[in-house]
Structure 1
């Protein structure tokens, strides 16, 4: 769930799902109707599809997206599925409907479905306590540990802060899935249990362990045998580790230092795959959307129908558990479609557009972001996969597709999202200028640089090591190979660590606090840029020096 994409989606709810605040030319109807009659013209004609193709190409050009894939389904049929652009910059292979992308947090709906399938079989209930299935499970509060239910794992209302614990697996770490879950006991709660929405990933890793305990299968085996094979999803992989030689797969692209667009390497969430591990194509995800829109039915009809899950479980997954406050749009161009309501169910965001209920989700990954949107009352689904880190791109394409299928006109989504993107860049520039203005550039550290070197330990992450190098000081997160960076002085006892992997866009302030005797008491960190992905939750670390024995 790379959430730089979400930040650039320029919508107001926090979390990997982008809370859309898009604009419409005409006010939406007041009624929210999930059982509306089919459209008079449910399938766009050749001219409309040609206009849509031109629009997607315009989005690619405006936002520098190397590759985009789109599929639209309605009434159980594929309206269109196609690719645009190339799989990797500088190479000729084209994106098509079979090209696999990282779908990141769109994986969460698969995790929710797995648990609800097990409920259909009587192996669990989503109202069961987590400790009834995982007796070793612990949160940092005894009451929350005792009362946490399975559906709480899926609904972002645990009391954890935004993205809490993400550094345990983001970027890729050496912790196992069980070790990540066990470290939850030391991740502090900053809100009340079931009090408010705060997006997390770590509890979906716990959810996949519940699937394993209840089913007797690994999570990978369960998804393969119970979901992918029945639906014929042959172009879906459990995570990047399962990509095969010759696979038709897109390469992610990031703007290194927020400037130069380049390909990025593969990332794997092998330890929290239930939160965002899957790779898939729009061709396969069209099948997934159709089974969702059919209430769990994927073949046959009547008594002969084959089901992935029951209609009751479908309704449960799309029932709001966590309300999300509806905020103001990022720019005026997005104002007309601020939703009437917003919330989260089990692995699904829930809101409305133009009088229609939506069930949707987004996904963010290094160099790849996506959005899957369902309009249940119209049996309509749209999936947009992209190979760059801009939520503005998938939002613009999604709402253009919805307008085409809902017979709406007058919305200039490219203009609206270009304005939103420009504002996000301007806000980031303003933030940096404020830091520069507040800096005492001529100040010096309180201690000799060598005194800042040592091992610092956080209760939930573990060790971060600072040591002297030929260039000065360098920092290494002990469980995260990619988090290796060089430290430069900023002011007083504050420094900046600049990661050697410049695609991360996650440089951080490093602040040391001294005790009365001039010894280091604590080290704290915070991202430099507001555009940094929230999964770099440096601010949650409480790093204390480890005494030298």
Structure 2
């Protein structure tokens, strides 16, 4: 086959795939009863028309679906909003903001959005791209000369778009554990250069701090902090008066949903999640009513109140596939993609879906879903350890809009996936300590400062024969419990360490190996 024929063959194949044909087009027989043929380009044609009153009928069932999910799971609170035809057509709160006070959730209750911050931030970047301040293809080092990855060639090439589509090669969730032990944004970003890289632009791994580095580059180009830039170009123009990228603002809101962690079958407000270090990726707080204003803008291709707030050409790349996030495991399976800050997929009705979830183990689960071809979007915010509840609701709603009925056991699918994420970590979880353990070296001889280039110092303290462990600038000291010989255990709860997690601390002369910090084989500390 010659090179010049390839474009035509590719075009024919694409049209055959989308139109569902299995042979070359032929002249159709004339029929007076034939329906008029559509002149809509095949890639825009869904598999079936929407049912009559699709959105209205789906909205009418939301109250019952939300209450069913609350009853089924016991999560404390939830707020939901739907946008259609350029306006909010549904906005309600359910349950309570805090189980201790019983205060009711309403559509203006402020929730932590977690990773819904990413698509919100992507529209901030798109605004700046439209203004010509940066491009999706702007190299990070052109704005942050101090930034580096472990491969010098990749360092020079990696762009804003690469990091917003998780195709830089950084390991999955790179830097998250550094945040857990108290490092700030700059310290974490500078340590990313010590991590191994997968193939650049040929691999996908979700990274909060990779995306945060891109946002920092955009903010530097604007000459102001990311939090201020987001407020000035997005939140304020859209009238999102309850929205902020600063944790301090969330804490001051009188009507805010407190995070609840899932422990022993119940939800408790036991921990506080401050995500300022990864603010562009997870630090936004907002209300259902405010997010609805943003969803209306996205559905309107960047327009709000008659003005073009975000240039549509700058926004389009964020809403279209940039990397493969969920490769198909069989030929008939639809592939999942990631744009710039947005999940991009295709529903079983052959309609494009834009979505994103947010999840804090310490107490937040959020999701939005957009069906552009139906001009509808829904957001669901909860204040509890993720259990698949917001994803279930938005998927049920999307089914109702497209088919007039819920066609999958969405709760069964999503809940199973999220419950698996609550599984405690550590090789000793569920195991019994030895009945007759070998003695350790004298505790005082194990005390000292053990250094690690990536994690910083691990300080082992001794008092009255008991040992404690401190890693990072956060200041928490975890008791070390003897297990066997020079192996000890330590436990703590954090965003990435669910309740019940148990980690090993193994002393070997002047070396200390901490299992929890050894995922990338860099958990050895030397005294």
Structure 1 residues 506 and 120: CA distance shift in structure 2, 3 A: farther
Can you list the C-alpha shifts for 1:109-166, whole angstroms capped at 9, x where unaligned? 1222222222212222211211112112111221111111121111112222111111
Q: Does 1:376 align with 2:372?
A: yes
Q: Does 1:484 align with 2:477?
A: yes
SS in 1 for 2:519: helix
**Structure 2: segments with no counterpart, 5+ residues:** 1-18, 22-41
Structure 1 residues 289 and 33: CA distance shift in structure 2, 3 A: farther
Q: Equivalent residue for 1:512?
A: 506
Q: CA deviation at 1:68?
A: 0.7
Q: Equivalent residue for 2:359?
A: 364
Can you list the C-alpha shifts for 1:423-469, whole angstroms capped at 9, x where unaligned? 849x95999898628x7553425533333332222322312222124
Which of the numbers 276, 282, 300 marks the counterpart of 2:282? 276
Q: Is the 8 A contact 1:42 1:74 kept in 2?
A: no
Query: Which structure carries more relative contact order (alpha carbon 8 Å, separation 6+)?
Result: 1
Q: Equivalent residue for 2:514?
A: 524
Q: CA deviation at 1:103?
A: 0.3
Structure 1 residues 62 and 469: CA distance shift in structure 2, 3 A: farther
Q: Equivalent residue for 1:24?
A: none
Q: Is the 8 A contact 1:461 1:541 kept in 2?
A: no
Which of the numbers 294, 297, 319 marks the counterpart of 1:288? 294
Structure 1 residues 433 and 417: CA distance shift in structure 2, 3 A: farther
Q: Equivalent residue for 1:498?
A: 491
Q: Equivalent residue for 1:182?
A: 190
Q: CA deviation at 1:201?
A: 0.8
Can you list the C-alpha shifts for 1:488-530, whole angstroms capped at 9, x where unaligned? 233444332122779952734224263xxxx13341313xxxx
Q: Does 1:241 align with 2:248?
A: yes
Q: Is the 8 A contact 1:72 1:381 kept in 2?
A: yes
Runs of 4+ in 1 over 6 A off after TM superposition: 29-32, 429-434, 500-503
SS in 2 for 1:462: coil
Q: Equivalent residue for 1:455?
A: 449
SS in 2 for 1:229: helix
Q: Equivalent residue for 1:539?
A: 519
TM-score (norm 2): 0.83
**Aligned partners of 1:276, 1:229: CA distance in 2, in Å?**
19
**Aligned partners of 2:487, 2:203: CA distance in 1, in Å?**
33
SS in 2 for 1:360: strand
Structure 1 residues 419 and 394: CA distance shift in structure 2, 3 A: closer
Q: CA deviation at 1:89?
A: 0.6
Q: Does 1:205 align with 2:206?
A: no
Structure 1 residues 418 and 165: CA distance shift in structure 2, 3 A: closer
Which of the numbers 134, 157, 163 marks the counterpart of 2:173? 163
Q: Is the 8 A contact 1:126 1:150 kept in 2?
A: yes
Q: Equivalent residue for 1:56?
A: 66
SS in 2 for 1:80: strand
Q: CA deviation at 1:413?
A: 3.5
Q: Equivalent residue for 1:475?
A: 469
Which of the numbers 112, 122, 126 marks the counterpart of 1:112? 122
Q: Which has the larger radius of gyration?
A: 2
Between 1:147-156 and 1:281-290, the stretch displaced more is 147-156
**Aligned partners of 1:469, 1:130: CA distance in 2, in Å?**
47
TM-score (norm 1): 0.80
Q: Is the 8 A contact 1:34 1:376 kept in 2?
A: no
SS in 2 for 1:499: coil
Q: CA deviation at 1:232?
A: 0.6
Q: CA deviation at 1:247?
A: 2.5
Which of the numbers 217, 234, 237 marks the counterpart of 1:230? 237
**Structure 1: segments with no counterpart, 5+ residues:** 1-28, 301-305, 330-337, 527-536
Structure 1 residues 135 and 40: CA distance shift in structure 2, 3 A: same
Q: Does 1:196 align with 2:206?
A: no
Q: Is the 8 A contact 2:328 2:334 kept in 1?
A: no
Q: CA deviation at 1:421?
A: 6.5
Which of the numbers 377, 381, 387 marks the counterpart of 1:385? 381
Q: Is the 8 A contact 1:456 1:523 kept in 2?
A: no
Q: Is the 8 A contact 1:33 1:377 kept in 2?
A: no
Q: Give the number of aligned pairs.
A: 483
**Aligned partners of 2:411, 2:300: CA distance in 1, in Å?**
35
Q: Equivalent residue for 1:332?
A: none
Q: Equivalent residue for 1:299?
A: 305
SS in 1 for 2:93: strand
Q: CA deviation at 1:309?
A: 1.8
SS in 2 for 1:143: helix
**Aligned partners of 1:138, 1:152: CA distance in 2, in Å?**
14
Structure 1 residues 250 and 270: CA distance shift in structure 2, 3 A: same
Q: CA deviation at 1:313?
A: 1.8
